[in-house]
Structure 1
Amino acid sequence: MSLKVDKASMAFTFKGGMLPMTVMELTSADPERIRDQLAGKLNQSPAFFQHTPVVLSVEKLDEPHLSLERICAVCRAHKLLPVAVRGGAEPVKQSAWALGLGWFPPADGARSRTLEEVPTSDMPEESPAAAAPQAEAGAGRIYRGTVRSGQQVSAPEGDLVIIGAVNAGAEVLAAGSVHVYGALRGRALAGIHGDTRAGIFCRELRAELLSVAGNYKRLEDIDPQLLGTSVQVILSDAQLGITALD
């Protein structure tokens, strides 16, 4: 016996998918310490704090009872939107559900490490660049490899050079300019300390967000004709301009 469904009467369908999501990995359960650090981050990269959905990872905390409600309130006060919790004991899971949040089991140990912690021998062989080690260059930074979803790579001083791609859900930021020698699908923030001379340069533009000295554009604000092309992003007359690179 087969069931026939009138598609015209359907209000929704379920579809599997993988959405880019930022993971906020907590190493302290103190809401005030979290508040202080978020305040500093907000000053550093205000464009990131625009109702960004985050997953609160509590895997590194050895506390069965967390003040999730207060932590979520601190996040929302800084324009971050907690949508789920990852890890934690049964009381944490129950608290997450009571707050209307999702809950994920702890991630696999190898996958939960940041790129900075992963030995190059453990990285997938996507390309020679992905398997190469990182290097520091002068006051800036050179990063060789793919910046994966949920990861952040920064250069607190000088320029940041990414020799590889920046995946959706990843973030790269620099005090100076950001150079991406690959596809830029995540978020790129240049001039995070207010340097209006900084810029963003990439080989293939598909960014979720671009920001220079606090001035930003989202994907929907970008001329579709520039998507997939090599561009430079610079400030001109206090306006963020995106132009093709020859």
Structure 2
Amino acid sequence: MNQEQIEALHERIPAKERLPPFSNIEKGKKQSKILKKIKSFLPFLDWLPKYKWKEDLKYDIIAGLTVGIMVVPQGMAYASLAGIPPVYGLYASFFAPIIYTFFGTSKHISVGIFAVGSMMVGNVKLRFAPDDIVKTWHENGTLRKEVSRVLGEVDFGFEYNAMDLLSSLTLTVGIVQIIMAIFRLGFITTYMTDQLLSGFTTGSACHVFMSQLNKILGVRMPRHSGVDACGNFS
């Protein structure tokens, strides 16, 4: 009886097929690192199995209804600030939290559109896809209307509307943010000082307030840019 027959009789693993010492531990470590990497990109895989449905679900439903009631008028207002139909503000307010559910890392953060982003989008629309000029007048008891097409600053060589432009802008910004997330560039924000953030927030608030004065007063004012914007308004 040779060695192979003895090993087969006693149901032992042949020497050639035996794993080296501590190989299972090393394999487990590699699997753990891969799983940890996946959970860093998809955090819901970590917290969803630990979710306490009986204790937390009712409170989350109340919180969701509260946020939803607030987000509906807010989304419509921000869409108006961007110069687009209000329904697109509802779309942006609805889909952003759903996506953040799977990729987000904080349960206290508020996700969605905001005033500064809406104004930046509105400025792009004003430059490249301005609204048409509509003139109305009465002639012999008949209301007549004349629509004049206004061209943007850049001729792209093909026809497009405002939503085509803003959809492309949103897609481009999203791709850039995904690339930044892959390379973990969030650490750059740590180099922004408190003074910089305070100045940006204060300036944004003043800019939003000034941009809404024409709607508050009910008058149409031409848009101005630069340091003398307040002087031009007055």
Q: Shorter-chain TM-score: which interval?
A: under 0.3
**Greater share of helix residues, 1 or 2?**
2
